[in-house]
Structure 1
Amino acid sequence: MSNAKVEFSGEPRPNPEDILQQLERVLASDEFHSPERGRKFLRFVVTETLEGRAQFLKAFTIANEIFGRQSSFDAQNDPVVRIEAGRIRRGLERYYLVAGQADPIVITIPKGGYVPHFDHAEPTGAAADPEPRSERETLHMPVDRKTRDTRFISVLAAGAVFMIALAGGYLLLPAGSLKSSIGMRQSPLADTSSPMIIVDEFQSDGTEGSTADIAQGLRDEVIGQLATFDDIVVVADPSRTSDGNASGFALQGSVQRDGNKLRSISRLIRRSDAAVIWANNYDADLGTRSILQIQADIGQDIAVAVARPYGAIFATGTDQIAEPSMTAMSGAYDCTLAYYSYRREMDPQSQAVARDCLLRATDRFPTNASSWALLSLVYLDEIRFRYKFGSQPSPDAMTRATEAAERATAIDPSNTRALQAEMLVSFFTNDIDKALKSGAAAYAANANDTEVAGEYGLRLAMSGKWQSGCELVSRAINKDAGPKGYYEVGMALCAFMRGDLQAAELWSRMSDLEYNPMHRLVLMSILGAQGKTEEALQLKGWLNANAPEMMKNVREEVSRRLQRAEDQERFFGGLRVLGVGTEIANLKTERPK
């Protein structure tokens, strides 16, 4: 290492040999919670920096070196590097709090990039800086011991709350848990109802060797992918749950190998009655893909199927939870089930159940960001789905939706559901820049969340970014994003705007035409553009009978969704050629006031 080039600025930094020794201490510690590829990630960025190649530490380079991505890798649409970097940052923070308090060197990866920083640890009880730092210097200075200790006071406080909850009979999250409820330090009453997933050891057809290593790596990958979801608790150490508590779910898996052929079998067990609520097999060829790529793909598929909105965890029990007589519901998980049940049913009764449940949950647990976010979406639905419900929204529906979204992001600025709510509220109040920024942040936080991907894709597309938006919507549909028929109308618009009218009609007919009268309006425009006047007239008759108010406000409703004048013109053009009435024939492409 004598020829290593290390570029630092400011006061003297640790020498390369000491940095490498510190790296090995971190990687050897059980308190650095990171799967094998995360450890490879950290070793790679540290050694590349020490060798003077920090300027090449970009998402593309890391994706190729660590994740086996090909030259077509697109960091905008594949945030795998950003997600892994976030996990490593959290792993380093935990390590220095638990095991590395006396270590001489601090390694950090500041947000906004992948180049690590190295600093001497500040001794305990060290004197304050002789000169105050400027704000700019403070914002960019490496994290020292005092800063880390302050940052983790809230974490220790949250642990104390959990211990008190145990004494009172509440669920105690195991020490192996990778997630806890956001904002617990701020509330004397903690909501411990989030569903818990215990990830058991994955079995293999051999006790040692490559198959066992693949099984272990796949389990690590699944844990990491599940940990990106805010609404669940992931337990990585099954031995911590031997307290007789049979709540939550157990994820079991096995790996079998025959030459280059690999099969992984996974199933999700409901612990209360041992019922298998989801299972699937995954086959892969080791001759065509790397082990790391196979593990990443299978791990993502399992996490998405289990923990995504409308996935296995949030599909079980929704029939019972939707009953309006269940007024005792008020935990976050109860109300999340009620929300997804409502989005499947899309009727005023199920909407009222979800709204009332979320109101009780936010009252009892005011620092649960996800509950505030879902409440915001319920209020917003009064406006965007009012023609489906057949009723006028309450006068302050948008105000309530906005306030609930703001409350959610204030509690947890990185919560994906909070960012989703902020995106949709901003979009429907015509703050498009903020909407797209919030959507990008939500997608970067958890690309596995199919509802975030789909909704963000729709907002991108309807803002005129059709290619990137439609790719996300298509990806969401391929991952079984719900509710059924909702994103299909987005694909219909995608095909319509690129001039593929046949595909647009097929997608439109696959959408749930009962879900929202706006879906029928889309099909009506597509048929009009194709010259299928008779069928379009039948749709107009249905809309006049079932959504007369929407037909009076077609221009406003379309312009509220399609942001560009040229996109509005294409849509209105499909209506004008029908010549079915002045309310359509005289439409002008302008934004509603």
Structure 2
Amino acid sequence: MSRKAPEIDLKSAEMITFGGFVFLAKKRELQTVEGKAVELRSQSAEVLSVLAARSGEIVSKDALMRAVWPDTFVTEDSLTQCIADIRRALGDDAHKIVETLPKRGYRLNADLLDAAGSAATAGAERTKSRILRRGLLAAIVLVAVAIGAYYGTEIWRAAPARSSDMPRIAVFPFDDFSTGADKGYLSDAVADGIITELARSKTYAVIARNSSFRYRDQPTDARRIGEELGVDFLLEGSQQKIGDRLKVTAQLLNADDGSHLWANAYDREIGDLFVVQEEIIRTLSARVGHRIERTWPESSSARVSALHYHLMGLVELDKDFSAAGNELFRQLNLKAIEADPNSQFGYIGLAFSYRNDAVFGFHRQEHSFEEALRLAAEYADKAILLAPDDAEAYYVRARIHNEAGEIEQALIRFDQAIALNPGDSDILEASAAPLLFIGRIDEAIDRIKQAMGIDPFYPDWYHWDMGWALWEKNNCGAALTEMQRMSRIPSGAQRMLAGIQACLGNVREAKEALAIFLKDSPGDSIREQRKKWEKLYSNPVRFERWAEHMRIAGLPEE
């Protein structure tokens, strides 16, 4: 590491301009020159402030990492995410404002202004700003991640070593050209299915859905995206539902030069969705040079409808992870079962919904912790029976075993899920939980870091679990920093935040966080938590530490 955080001080300039943008150094705020705020994540703003402090100079990755994350366990993918986030906010597709110097670091090419002259200069440099359009983030749990080789892109350093001949592919969300009631009917189902099946094949490194879908509604710059995601190929396309017909187009691009390798169009009955996915995957496989040999799922309009309701539920739960959001998620999955009782989607959704009830105390008045877990297990077992090759079914069953204190069974189910889909970062990340309960804390942290490393734009709940892991390690300052990196701390995570604040002696903040949690989970108590979790901890002293922090936060004994 070349410089410690205190050695990097902002220059005297209060405002730094980047074409049509202004960065307010002291406030860590990015605006257009017209004064309109531009969305930028807090850690991205911190990275930008360090670069601004040494504008025109090359700042090494080590210096940036030390300055922004001095006490936190992160991999270089966190820095890569921030650089990509800054570039997107600035519309810096050509990487001219934030310049990459291979093997040396980054350089900010900007004009520094003092406060007195900023207004006149800003007016002279007024240009149109490009604000990124952000599509809905469909929160499907079927997230496939990279399982390929290290090709020199530092984003993948945390990933395990893999076969060097494994091609890397990013699948973008397909544009939806449907209109009226058909608009959004299947959301991102086509692209999701392709991602899952390619990752399942174990012969492709498929970038995580969470990362590739960040490029929604952006022009396809194959070289830039290929560099940012570390991929060799890009698959993009469109879908359009017209009544009972489904029209799909797809094309494969070479990420090195943007050349078209293959394109095709499909016009089928809506029930042929899975058939279309299969044809795209098989053709893509032939073009890239690997064949996929497996039995493909049966396709029917009923199965497609079930998938539709399940996806809708996941989107709603992602928007509102609360008792109300979980209930809506459950109702949509009941509709999925009604549409097709022989497909697994609705049962997986119901299993997750009852598991959420048990863990977070949602709908406590309707069923106890034990009853909620029993229902969750029944639905998960039904999903496994219907779809023994679906990693999601084993994944939710693993989480239910974990909550029931059946740690060995949880580890076995996680292994089964990972074997079925070794490229799913969510499964890898979630498998850290049983490791934390049995005291294998460093191993759990490594798994979370690995999941972060192979999904450049990992979801917020990874920070939540890392906060938990760091609390277990008694590194509560770093745990708080990790929690604060979430874009929004949902009510379910406020309990963890309360424990971390109590650990730090921040009594008022701990009580405030716990109060938010209890609004959705009334009736929680030390006794209830002891009943749920004491048996999970291999060392009872570690649970007692949690109980004490809950007391500090104001949780009653009974």
Q: Which structure is richer in relative contact order (CA contacts within 8 A, separation 6 or more)?
A: 2
Question: Greater CA radius of gyration, 1 or 2?
Answer: 1
Question: TM-score interval w.r.t. the shorter chain?
Answer: 0.3 to 0.5
